[in-house]
Amino acid sequence: MLNGNNIYLLVACLRMDFSTAVFHSRRQPGSPWWLLWPLTALLCWNLAGQEALYADTERWVPEELTGKAKQQYDGKAAARIDAWRQTLHGLADASEADKLKGVNAFFNRELRFVSDAKHWGMDDYWATPYEALGSDGGDCEDYVIAKYYSLRQLGVDTSKLRITYVKAIRLNQAHMVLTYFPTPDAVPLVLDNLIGIIAPASERSDLSPVYSFNGDGMWLERMKGQGIRMGNPNKLDLWTDLRVRMNQLGMDL
């Protein structure tokens, strides 16, 4: 339990004034000040870690984007950007499985599905997560891009994530999902805006894979395997254009 002496030690520690902390602890008769050092060090380390974590979260979703969203869109848009930042902050120390669940649930809940033709007035447009949340809408590509970026910032390795083009058999149309490989030889898990549950690809008989890519490569995809490597993702004009716009927002894809 923290008493007045302990609190003074903590404050002094945070001010980097250790000599002052020791001096004042000795002024308390019978106070075992040397026993408080481990507790104080632990508290300081924890607070410093939280400060660093908050700084990382601010870098992942730059704080100025909130004001930008309010000015460009409206207050609700700014609130969605803030909610995204807070979601990443809350997941920073989570297990990888929980990061997948948290990110998948957030965008499936917060992002309204709308076609590119209706929303952007063009056949195909890959929106940044800022644009999708700010404008309150996006199609399957925008869900996947937002999830991919968020999981990368949360520390999930690029090699585990692939942006995967599939055919949605029941809908008889092209679709995009994010696939996650827990290990290189594993059957990937599928993160999809159509179905909220994250399931192995082997259980998604409604999807027929076509090709996939991430920041490191492109593959002719087989949902149960690794696929055949086929080139560099920078050959995709939509991908390179997206990366340019992400960089302009201070976000590295």
Q: What is the pLDDT of residues 139-185, one digit of tens each?
A: 999 999 999 999 999 999 999 999 999 999 999 999 999 999 999 98
Is residue 253 in some structural domain?
A: no
- Taking the C-alpha atoms of residue 197 and residue 205, their distance in angstroms, rounded to an integer, is 14
Query: Is the domain of 145 the same as that of 40?
Result: no
- Taking the C-alpha atoms of residue 137 and residue 143, their distance in angstroms, rounded to an integer, is 9
Interhelix angle 96-110/140-153, rounded to 10 degrees, is 140
| CA dist list (Å): 138 to 45, 161, 235 | 41, 20, 23
Residue-level pLDDT at 55:
45
Domain that holds residue 240: 64-248
Residue-level pLDDT at 58:
63
Number of domains in the chain: 2
- Taking the C-alpha atoms of residue 136 and residue 128, their distance in angstroms, rounded to an integer, is 12
Residue-level pLDDT at 159:
96
Residue-level pLDDT at 30:
55
Both tokens of residue 60? 């992942």
CATH number of the domain at 126, please.
Answer: 3.10.620.30
Low-confidence ranges of the chain (pLDDT < 70): 1-58, 222-226
Give the model confidence (pLDDT) of 46-69 as tens digits: 544 444 444 465 678 999 999 999
Residue-level pLDDT at 234:
87
Query: Is the domain of 45 the same as that of 108?
Result: no
Query: Is the domain of 44 the same as that of 145?
Result: no
Is residue 144 in some structural domain?
A: yes
Which element (helix H / strand E) includes 64?
helix 64-72
